[in-house]
Amino acid sequence: MTLLIAALGATSVAVPGAAAADPPPPANASEALTKLTELNKEAVKLTEEWHNTRDDLDRRRKDQDSAKTQLDQANREAGTARDSISTYRVEVDKLAAASFDNVSLNPVATLMTSGSPQDFLDRMLLLDIISSERKDTLEGYRRALQLAETAQRRAEEAGRRAGEAEVQANRLLGELDQRKTEMDRRVASAKAQLDRLSARDRGALTGGGQTNYTVNDIPQGLAQQAMQKALGRQGKPYVWGATGPDTFDCSGLLFWSYRQLGVTLPRSSRDQARVGTAVTRDQLRPGDFVAFYQPVGHIGIYVGDGKMVHAPQGGDTVKVSGVMWGDLVAMRRLG
């Protein structure tokens, strides 16, 4: 059974404004590489914002479903309480009209109309029973009224939450379309620039790190198993928005690795950087998440010795590289 690990709290990101047209292609190879680096950053940022909006939309839809479920339950409880009120009201009306052989419920009147001491005692015993029944009936009526009022308030609150969640979900759907359009445009620009690179610049882009890194003799907890899954995808190409099994972006690599173990992470690097518990640099161990930039725009899995496995950028592949300590903003441990 799939286990869903939700992010802690919602994150809202402003919708990007309309971007200016891309500048003309650079005149030389070094400028081409520089331009690709910038386009990669923009494409990654927009892709992660798109993922983040999707995560936020999923949360709002879950909130909406939960609120609707609570609304249905509250309405059922309110209906049951109203039925109880109707039942007790009949009994209360009977009590109000009761005379019991024209005997008043006033003890003094009972004494005055009694034919003998024994008759008086018999009538008083009857009055005690009537009073007890009347008290129980009235108390039940009062409780039924309170339950109905409480259920009605719960139904109104659940209805309000459901309405708000629906409004937020619809807003996020609009933002998602906007982000997707801008993301696709930036990704297309980055791909086109990548195609213009010379073999030398491609080498400069993908240089550093390694694609045959192995880790042995470590505990096999959930995080370490996921790390090994990620290491098994070394050499697979980076593709914006991809979640495997043969292409990945940075958060897609973590998402895929945990999914193989029956665990569903949030899709965006920003929300992935919130799962689990925070650790410090001196506490880092293989399997921990390492996240970069502010707001978070890149993420990888720590493998030890100051290195991480990650999907770096367009044109590159899944690999093990040194942790970018200067850009590190979050370290998290899951499990």
The DSSP secondary structure of 141-161, one letter per residue, reads HHHHHHHHHHHHHHHHHHHHH
Per-residue pLDDT of the chain (335 residues; tens, 9 = 90+): 445 454 443 333 333 332 332 333 334 446 767 777 777 777 777 777 777 777 777 777 777 777 778 777 777 777 776 776 677 666 656 655 554 444 445 554 554 555 555 555 555 555 555 566 566 666 666 677 777 777 777 777 777 777 777 777 677 767 767 777 777 787 788 778 877 777 888 777 777 899 999 998 887 899 999 999 999 999 999 988 899 999 999 999 999 999 999 999 999 999 999 999 999 999 999 999 999 998 898 999 999 999 999 999 888 999 999 999 999 999 999 97
Catalytic residue among 310, 319, 332, 333: 310
φ/ψ (deg, to 5) at 211: -115, 20
Residue appearing with tokens 């292409």: 247
The predicted pLDDT at position 157 comes to 79
**Strand, helix or coil for residue 309:** strand
d(CA 152, CA 8): 31
The predicted pLDDT at position 51 comes to 78
Catalytic (active site) residue 51: no
d(CA 148, CA 145): 5
Catalytic residue among 51, 229, 270, 298: 298
Catalytic (active site) residue 138: no
Closest Cα partner for 268 from 278, 255, 257, 259? 255
Catalytic (active site) residue 104: no
Residue 316, CA distances (Å) to 180, 206, 240, 275, 312 in order: 22, 5, 11, 27, 6
pTM of the model: 0.59
Calculate the CA 90 to chain-centre distance.
Answer: 48
d(CA 244, CA 87): 62
The predicted pLDDT at position 163 comes to 78
Catalytic residue among 44, 250, 263, 265: 250
Residue appearing with tokens 């297309």: 188
- 60: amino acid identity, one letter: R
